[in-house]
Amino acid sequence: MVGSIQKEITGTIFDIKKFAVHDGPGIRTTIFFKGCLLRCWWCHNPESREFGVQIPDTETIGYKRTTSEIMNIIEKDTIYYDESGGGVTFSGGEPLAQAELLRQLLVNCKELDIHTAVDTTGYVERGTLDDIIPHVDLFLYDLKVIDDDKHERYTGVSNQSKNRSILNNLKYLSSKGCKIRIRIPIIPGINDTDDDISDFCIFISEMGTVEQLDLLSYHKIAEHKYHRLGIDYRMGDTKEPSHQEMELIKNKFQSHLEQLGLGSLKISIGG
């Protein structure tokens, strides 16, 4: 445990996933923070939406943990991080919604030379980003939709909000030289049209530090969570895209990016 810089902060998380391989490079420990301001129709972690511990019926969702308790878990697997080029990913929910806890964990990880990644919606104030940039090795940046009207309809927030602009914050991270992997959930009927793909590619072409584009296939695996939590599942009978459909979408992204001079950008299906 890091002693000289350790500041004890308590926050709320809802899961810790060890040996994760889809949340950044190598073998990772993913810490899921509780609380998010977005209300994406397709969210596969609806239990992460509300801040604080919930106790619906007999189930407890979320638990309080201190920085030292979380770091004790992280440090147990440093040998796997070292051997695989992995590290720790802070996800959610929205980890930046618990900014003080996140920053202290990042500081502690960097003191131990553990690779850090932050999976974020980008719906945060600029100053919050400035506080963590020096301690983050990789940003996993979620882009849902470029069109603002559609974004607000399907996520509940604007992506061009004056104080929390998702699009401008991504451009800002790029201007600061941050390493970025953009993650786009492919949601049939919502953001998979040719116009949507073109919009994504044009926007991505405006930045210079995007290392990879991850296309994440929509799935219905979380539908039972909505019923259990008494939350309306708004995706109805939307079908999961097939492997062939995802390959076709990937090819469309590749074609658009090549036309924009970004043919070398790596595109993956999945994280």
- DSSP characters for 163-209? SS-HHHHHHHHHHTT--EEEEEEE-TTTS-SHHHHHHHHHHHTT-S-
Identify the three-state secondary structure at position 210. Answer: strand
Compute the radius of gyration of the chain from its Cα atoms: 18
The residue type found at 102 is: L
- d(C-alpha 203, C-alpha 196), whole Å: 11
Q: Band of the pLDDT at 6, cuts 50, 70, 90?
A: low
Q: Band of the pLDDT at 57, cuts 50, 70, 90?
A: confident
Average confidence (pLDDT) over 214-226: 94
212: β partners: 181, 266
Residue 194 has pLDDT above 60, yes or no: yes
Average confidence (pLDDT) over 85-110: 97
Please tell me what DSSP assigns to residue 244: H
Q: Which CATH architecture has domain 10-269?
A: Alpha-Beta Barrel (3.20)
Residue 186 has pLDDT above 70, yes or no: yes
Q: What is the pLDDT of residue 1?
A: 47
Predicted structure pTM score:
0.95
Q: What is the pLDDT of residue 245?
A: 97
Q: Give the pLDDT confidence of 41-55 residue by residue, as tens digits.
A: 999 999 999 999 988
Q: What is the pLDDT of residue 107?
A: 97
Closest by CA to 5, choosing from 107, 122, 141, 130, is: 107
Strand-by-strand arrangement of the 266-269 sheet: 63-66, 10-20, 28-33, 87-91, 115-120, 138-142, 180-186, 210-217, 266-269
Query: Any idea which of 82-86, 252-256, 267-271 has the lowest mean pLDDT?
Result: 267-271
